[in-house]
């Protein structure tokens, strides 16, 4: 089981696409184990996007991400980090494949609706930035007996 940090960016909230985008993740079988609406501070944006500091789009990215509230999610599932990236699609809305969140809901390259951790190390770091102790639920879901094949003793 993996947990990924997902952000429904300010454009997703302003365009009233929170429900539609969240449905994509839920319908796939991912479990919501953390969720909150929040305004990202300058400091938090800088920490979250530290690897992009100095890039031409960095200032605009921080301005965008701090401009209006976002919905922050912790999503759990088998291979959740890669599964989420596949559901999101390529970075640029104009290039993202049809059927993906970015491909279906947007066309902008910077206002691309959703952030998702890009690997286990990033996920651990980002979950720690956005969720405090006790804010991520450790509960099992009734439906998981049908979402996964658990005949071997572990979900597959
Ligand atoms: P990702 O969100 O698909 O992981 P990253 O390369 O990590 O893509 O970039 C972080 C965010 O910065 C993107 O989601 C997008 O909002 C923005 N961004 C990335 N590259 C560009 C660019 O070339 N122009 C404008 N915005 C960009
Ligand atoms: Mg990234």
> Quick one: DSSP state of residue 152?
T
Q: Band of the pLDDT at 48, cuts 50, 70, 90?
A: very high
Residues, CB-to-ion distance under 5 Å, ligand 2: 118
Interatomic CA distance for residues 154 and 142, integer angstroms = 15
For ligand 1, pick from 86, 112, 117 the residue to mutate: most ligand atoms within 8 Å of CB: 112
Distance 52 CA to ligand 1 centre (A): 9
pLDDT score at 117: 98
Q: Which of 83, 89, 115, 127 is catalytic?
A: 115
Instruction: Supply φ then ψ for residue 89, to 5 degrees.
Output: 90, 180
Closest approach atom of ligand 1 to CA 51: 7
pLDDT score at 33: 98
Share of the chain above pLDDT 90, in %: 99
Q: Which residue in 32, 47, 45, 38 sits closest to 125, CA to CA?
A: 47
CATH 3.30.70.141 fits domain 2-38+69-147: yes
Catalytic-residue membership of 48 = no
Pocket of ligand 1 (CB under 6 A): 52, 57, 61, 91, 109-110, 112, 115, 118
Q: Where are the domains of the chain?
A: 2-38+69-147
Q: Which residue in 5, 7, 4 sits closest to 112, CA to CA?
A: 7
What are the C-alpha distances in Å from 24 to residues 13, 32, 55, 64, 75? 15, 12, 31, 23, 12
Q: pLDDT tens digits for 14-33?
A: 999 999 999 999 999 999 99
- Mean per-residue pLDDT for 36-63? 98
Q: pLDDT tens digits for 1-14?
A: 999 999 999 999 99
Closest approach atom of ligand 1 to CA 91: 3
Residue nearest to atom 23 of ligand 1 (CA): 57
Distance 49 CA to ligand 2 centre (A): 8
Distance 143 CA to ligand 2 centre (A): 31
Q: pLDDT tens digits for 96-117?
A: 999 999 999 999 999 999 999 9
Interatomic CA distance for residues 99 and 24, integer angstroms = 10
């Amino acid at each position: 089981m993996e947990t990924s940090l997902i952000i429904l960016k300010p454009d997703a909230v302003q365009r009233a696409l929170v429900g539609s985008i969240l449905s994509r993740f839920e319908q796939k079988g991912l479990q919501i184990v953390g969720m909150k609406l929040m305004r990202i501070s300058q400091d938090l944006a800088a920490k979250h996007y530290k690897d992009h500091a100095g890039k031409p789009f960095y200032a605009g990215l921080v301005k965008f991400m701090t401009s209006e509230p976002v919905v922050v999610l912790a999503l759990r599932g088998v291979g959740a980090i890669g599964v989420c990236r596949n559901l999101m699609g390529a970075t640029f809305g104009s290039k993202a494949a049809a059927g993906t969140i970015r491909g279906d809901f947007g066309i902008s390259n910077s206002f691309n609706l959703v952030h998702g951790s890009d690997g286990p190390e990033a996920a651990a770091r980002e979950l720690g930035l956005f969720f405090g102790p006790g804010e991520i639920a450790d509960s099992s879901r009734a439906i998981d007996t049908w979402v996964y094949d658990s005949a071997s003793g572990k979900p597959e």
